[in-house]
Amino acid sequence: MSKNPIGIFDSGMGGVSVLAEATRFLPYENFIYIGDTAFAPYGVKPTSLILNRSLLISEKLIGEGCKAILIACNTASSVAAKYLRSKYSLPIIAMEPALKPAYFLSSGKTVLVLATNITLKLEKFKLLMKKYGANAEPIPCPDLVMYVENLNFDKTQVKTYLNNIFNNYNLDSIGAVVLGCTHFIFVKNLIREILPENIEILDGNVGTVKELHRRLSKKNILNTEKVAPYISLISTSNATAEKIKLEKMFKAAFDNEDYFVLENM
């Protein structure tokens, strides 16, 4: 057993949705969350920058004693997971768009995959498409990332953006929509309001957190001591506005806001 924290990172706000899921599933674990707010969004940036940032953040998390790292970002997972795994021996858990379950659930109907430009462009997704993408339509949604990153949840604006996407399709032909970016979880309810109930909306959060649990359990490093955990939130931007945003996102995602410390990196 190990009381050491689990490190989680994302370009900014999106990974907070994964952190929230992780605390529900692993209620006794300690967490350090780094939102790379100084460099968000990742999805339209050069892969060399995303790789360097992922490396720097991982070094910081390992320096803080993390026993595992969860990359709560599909984009950084596509760019950096392989490299980080080759460099470090601790468990590194990555995300990928939930195309596989969508393929099996959509019974031949179209699967829309909403993600960042980088996620959809790289090899990891191409391989996924080869296996499960026969009916899939990848859709890059950089503006949707920015709505969430800026905490702009104005229903009319976000729904107009989403409707502009979905209006290109006959909804009867859609079987599932995959949220292939952790930021999009925060607008899942708006997507649900637009789409008919029979269209599945899938994300990778629960699957990824289950994988985290499996990996910790296999290594015998789950924290079995039933005490209140701590969660540290770290924003890489020193700007007060960014820190306040991260804090707000955290409060929005959690029922319990008793335990957190906001630090700098």
> Which residues form the interface with ligand DGL (CB under 6 A)?
10-11, 14, 40-43, 73-75, 116, 119, 145, 181-183
CB of 12 to ligand DGL, least distance (A): 6
Residue tagged active-site, from 181, 185, 191, 202: 181
Distances (CA, A) of 113 to 9, 46, 231, 242: 22, 21, 31, 29
List the Cα angle 138/120/37 in 5-degree steps: 120
Closest CB 124 distance from ligand DGL, rounded Å? 12
User: Whose Cβ is closer to ligand DGL: residue 11's or residue 30's?
Assistant: 11
Shortest reach from residue 231's CB to ligand DGL, in Å? 19
The candidate with the shortest Cα–Cα distance to 40, out of 145, 124, 188, is 145
Q: Least distance in Å: CB of 160 to ligand DGL?
A: 20
Considering the candidates 69, 70, 73, 201, report the single residue annotated as catalytic. Answer: 73
Instruction: Give yes or no: 141 in active site.
Output: no
Place of tokens 């005490």: 227
**Comparison of 132 and 147: residue with beta carbon closer to ligand DGL:** 147
- Output the residue with the shortest Cβ distance to ligand DGL: 43
| Residue 195 to residues 139, 167, 171, 188, 240, Cα–Cα distance (Å) | 16, 11, 8, 10, 37
The answer to whether the beta carbons of residues 235 and 206 sit under 8 Å apart is no
Angstrom distance (rounded) from CA 18 to CA 22: 6
For residue 181, indicate whether it is catalytic.
yes
- The residue among 231, 112, 132, 251 whose CA lies nearest residue 176 is 112
Closer Cβ to ligand DGL, 15 or 175, answer by number: 15
- Residue 14 or 138: the one with the smaller Cβ distance to ligand DGL is 14
Just list the catalytic residues: 73, 181
